[in-house]
Structure 1
Amino acid sequence: MHSLSSVLALLVTASIASPVAVEETQTLEARTADQYKRWDDMNPLAKRNVNPDTVNVLTPEQLTAQRNALLLAQSETAREAILFPNPPNASNDTFQFINNTVTPPTGGTIFLSTINNFPALGATGLAQAVGFVNPCGLNTPHWHPRANEFLTVVQGSLIGALILENDNGFGNVVGGPAPIIGALPQINTTLSNYTGMLFPKGLIHWQFNNECEPAVFVAGFDTPDPGRAEAARGFFSAEPDEVISASTGFSDFLTPAQIKGLRPTLTSSFTSIVESCAKKCGIPFE
């Protein structure tokens, strides 16, 4: 990701750019696009065909109506009548996972089936995600507030990591244990093809493809509404800025001005790509 200073410099440069500078920028963009095309041609695995014939054809209004009907159904017979009104049609009981970011510089995409877009899951206690992780793609640190996750790599390899809960202090309590200072313990491993890893409910975790070939994972959840909370985005969204700077333990570590500058750049799901890995793999990086 870009540093704050480089982002600010880019904004300043853009605001005073001359016609010549704009033309040079357009030429640079054309050269970069050509670099991406050459990289794709050399890496056929980076190209994943997107199936346009998806079975996820219900409108938001239809999804809401079906979800409400299933929640009100009091027997399995009633549920089956809603899900399978026209046998042998199984469209209400199938879900198409789609990879809609197939080439760099995207880090990848996650397609998640929950009660929101697949009402059939409502009474099952289940949800599922398929993640398409491009080379050097990072599934940013996050946690699921309502679900345990069991993730299995089905193509390529990923580094999987989670941050342990380890806090035995609640401030400077007289006679109590001293507050814990410093980083929390991290568990991490390389998940090769067909290797799974459990990410317990509520623990911050992430996955990173540090290889030059795409990876794919399938993840199951034990609730149809797992939720997702971004670690960085959640922390830096706090107000006022002094709350964040005080939380770091050093008031001059992150100033309110720096925090305010960071907020517009925060993302959810995948970041673009990790710069050091992109250089290793010969992926154009800006």
Structure 2
Amino acid sequence: MQTITSILALLAAATMASPVAISEPQSLEARSIEYYKRFDDLNPLTKREVNPNTVNSLTPAQLEAQREALLLAQSETAREKILFPNPPNASNDTFQFINNTVTPPTGGSIVLSTVSNFPALGSTGLAGAVGFVNPCGLNTPHWHPRSNELLTVVQGTLIGALILENDSGFGNVVGAPPPVIGALPQINTTLTNYTGMLFPKGIIHWQFNPECEPAVFVAGLDNPDPGRAEAARGFFTAEPDEVVQASTGYSDYLTPQQIKELRPTLTSSFTSIVESCAKKCGIPFE
């Protein structure tokens, strides 16, 4: 009996000396930071060093001045003097695609080089992009109004998709084909390492990483100022609300109140992660 009493006393003393802490539930941001920290530790390829010798550090005013000077240059020699004032320095002729996808929570990021941030592209007819797509990241449906895009996956897996345009029937004209009602045809495929896909100018398209590993793509565009227009954001921005209601075909499908509540949540570029994929990959989602 004395032995049992002594054991109970020791247990009580240990409990008092080392109380069990009751942890507070983590916020979504805290859980996301913890997830991405583990993700980075397991995926060293997501950490890419920046080469300071290739980073163009011009201010916005300097970039504007360089764009104007290159636009006015009458010869290749004149252009070379603007781009390469201090040989062998190549900073005006290089562009650093910095990866910042590890900043939680995010579905990824696109780094785009255009005439706006890389004036050397001005007379070339070219632009470029590198996309760093986190697990379950979505590059939202969009189109480039002034450029074709050739996208190639260089790491991981992406689903690439484009939506075909409608050119059969405009209004209820007598003797003409009836207007198309319902969803438009979609073209989609799975892109793995070093597989490219063409997204024609003006066609709505998107990419999605369905896997639990990161993906990276590079893309070339045939206009130094390709532009980007968001499909959902552009559509739901229309006012008055009756314009959006009429476009859906049902006046009671979306109420004005629902439209007003939806507009502030619309995003550009990468959205947050896709819920069903996030659950599969164990990524914090709210």
TM-score with structure 1 setting the length: 0.87
Determine the C-alpha separation between the residues in 1 that align with 2:263 and 2:159. Answer: 27
Show the counterpart of 1:135.
135
Question: 1:239/1:121 Cα in 2 relative to 1: closer, same or farther (>3 Å)?
Answer: same
Show the counterpart of 1:32.
31
Determine the C-alpha separation between the residues in 1 that align with 2:61 and 2:82. Answer: 15
The answer to whether the Cα contact below 8 Å between 1:107 and 1:135 also exists between their aligned partners in 2 is yes
Determine the C-alpha separation between the residues in 1 that align with 2:47 and 2:210. Answer: 19
SS of the aligned residue for 1:140 comes to: strand
Q: 1:187-198 alignment to 2 at 5 Å?
A: 187-198=187-198
Deviating above 4 A after TM superposition, structure 1's stretches of 4 or more consecutive aligned residues are none
| CA drift at 1:28 | 3.5
Q: 1:101-250 alignment to 2 at 5 Å?
A: 101-250=101-250
Q: Residue 259 in 1 paired to residue 255 in 2?
A: no
| CA drift at 1:46 | 7.0
The answer to whether the Cα contact below 8 Å between 2:127 and 2:222 also exists between their aligned partners in 1 is yes
Question: 1:184/1:253 Cα in 2 relative to 1: closer, same or farther (>3 Å)?
Answer: same
Determine the C-alpha separation between the residues in 1 that align with 2:262 and 2:31. Answer: 26
May I ask how many residue pairs the two structures share in their alignment? Answer: 263
| CA drift at 1:260 | 0.4
Question: 1:170/1:34 Cα in 2 relative to 1: closer, same or farther (>3 Å)?
Answer: closer
Determine the C-alpha separation between the residues in 1 that align with 2:30 and 2:123. Answer: 52
Determine the C-alpha separation between the residues in 2 that align with 1:211 and 1:44. Answer: 14
1:157 counterpart letter in structure 2: T
Show the counterpart of 1:274.
274
Unaligned runs of 5+ in 1: 1-22
The answer to whether the Cα contact below 8 Å between 1:275 and 1:285 also exists between their aligned partners in 2 is yes
1:59 counterpart letter in structure 2: T
Question: 1:222/1:43 Cα in 2 relative to 1: closer, same or farther (>3 Å)?
Answer: same
| CA drift at 1:166 | 2.6
Show the counterpart of 2:68.
68
The answer to whether the Cα contact below 8 Å between 2:33 and 2:104 also exists between their aligned partners in 1 is no
Determine the C-alpha separation between the residues in 1 that align with 2:109 and 2:37. Answer: 22
| CA drift at 1:172 | 0.6
Show the counterpart of 1:48.
47
Determine the C-alpha separation between the residues in 1 that align with 2:102 and 2:45. Answer: 7
2:50 counterpart letter in structure 1: N
Determine the C-alpha separation between the residues in 2 that align with 1:126 and 1:132. Answer: 20
Unaligned runs of 5+ in 2: 1-22
The answer to whether the Cα contact below 8 Å between 2:36 and 2:104 also exists between their aligned partners in 1 is no
Question: 1:119/1:58 Cα in 2 relative to 1: closer, same or farther (>3 Å)?
Answer: same
1:40 counterpart letter in structure 2: F
The answer to whether the Cα contact below 8 Å between 2:139 and 2:206 also exists between their aligned partners in 1 is yes
1:190-223 superposed Cα distances (whole Å, 9 cap, x missing partner)? 0000000000000000000000000000000001
Determine the C-alpha separation between the residues in 2 that align with 1:131 and 1:124. Answer: 22
| CA drift at 1:38 | 6.3
The answer to whether the Cα contact below 8 Å between 2:159 and 2:209 also exists between their aligned partners in 1 is yes
Give the RMSD, CA atoms, in angstroms: 1.9
TM-score with structure 2 setting the length: 0.87
SS of the aligned residue for 1:145 comes to: coil
Identity of aligned residues (%): 78
| CA drift at 1:152 | 0.3
Determine the C-alpha separation between the residues in 1 that align with 2:142 and 2:40. Answer: 33
| CA drift at 1:114 | 0.3
